Structure 1
């Protein structure tokens, strides 16, 4: 059970991001005149909280094991919900959403496996770049929908953003796939607990031997 110390400000901000995600889904689920505009604003605020909670945690030394789990989990839920919304609106293709969401759930499963063995896996730079690319893609796609909405539904109004949306969609898919492969490569020795894990990279346990149930601090790399 998490203590009051674990529920520090950064972790509360991560939890708030999940609440914003709920508002985001509720907004797009109810047809009304400015649903896309509101969704864009909510997603922008949610994306900003992802930067704020990490900055506060590092600046004030509030990094916690709960935060290492909650922050990326909130990101994955928010991103997955956003891409499902874009898919439903026809803004992104099915194959791209499948790649992105499948990777997120597979990595979440691996993170849960490691947590069950006493190892807390923090987000890596490759994972952060992946999240940034995904968020920019969603913001551009929602921006395109907003421009169309404010122009009275004229598709031509948002056409100018189609190229940036496509470029960032491919970038999001590429970074999602690459970071996922790197993630599983670095953590592959979880299947063989008696072997040393590689040093450096996401999933690094240092040069110590892995023993289920022991406490380890995962390196950010």
Structure 2
């Protein structure tokens, strides 16, 4: 199977995860900068794979499945490494990961009933905030009157609030679909 450019970018994002995990296992000015470059490069591929796929009509089943998986793997890997480093509380990461698993499962169930639940604008905000928070938490620098560590944690908690709210909206949306199609209660 030959992969088109958007799918190659998705595979690159997944391939960068072990490099990121390795670099995040160390701390120091230069290694933190390297980790941010690797994470940022991987995060940028998320924008470009979708953009190119839509612009040039290169949307594939592989991309539809692997793109969101690659995004979740990248963010989860970075956050878990930040827990390991002591930069983020484990329960914060568990909240985000639980939401991701729940929404992914809900979307799969909806799909089995022929209902596609597209990503919404809140999901894009959540992802953008997570990426920003992760970069700030990796660096953790003290800049004049503000610590990137503290600012990163504030932004991460904002992402968690948005994630939980958008997860609830997915659930409500699916329940309305079930009700409008007389699917009854969950079995």
TM range, smaller chain: 0.7 to 0.9
Q: Distance in 1 between matches of 2:175 and 2:67?
A: 23
1:166 and 1:27 map into 2 onto residues whose CA distance is 21
Q: Which residue of 2 aligns with 1:167?
A: 154
Alpha-carbon distance in structure 2 between the residues aligned to 1:65 and 1:43? 25
Counterpart of 1:204 in structure 2 is none
Question: Are 1:46 and 2:33 matched, yes or no?
Answer: no
TM-score in terms of structure 2 length: 0.82
| Aligned pair partner of 1:188 in 171, 175, 187 | 175
Question: What are the equivalent positions in structure 2 for 1:1-221 lying under 5 Å apart?
Answer: 4=2, 7-29=3-25, 31=26, 34-116=30-112, 121-144=117-140, 147=141, 160-188=147-175, 194-195=181-182
Question: Alpha-carbon deviations, 1:163-214, whole Å to 9, x = none?
Answer: 3213212211111111111122212357679438xxxxxxxxxxxxxxxxxx
Q: Which entry has the higher C-alpha Rg, 1 or 2? A: 1
**Greater helix proportion:** 2
- 8 Å CA contact retained: 1:189, 1:195: no
- Contact 2:136 2:151 (8 Å CA) reproduced: yes
Quote the Cα distance in structure 1 between the aligned partners of 2:57 and 2:34. 34
More moved, 118-127 vs 99-108: 118-127
SS in 2 for 1:110: helix
Unaligned runs of 5+ in 1: 148-154, 197-221
Cα deviation code 1:81-126 (max 9, x no counterpart): 1111111111112221111111111122223334555655442222
Q: Deviations over 1:124-170 (max 9, x none)?
A: 222111111111110111121xx4xxxxxxx8999632332132122
- Aligned equivalents of 1:55 and 1:67: distance in 2? 12
Unaligned segments of structure 2, at least 5 residues = none
Give the number of equivalent residue pairs: 182
Q: d(CA) in 2 for partners of 1:114 and 1:22? A: 32
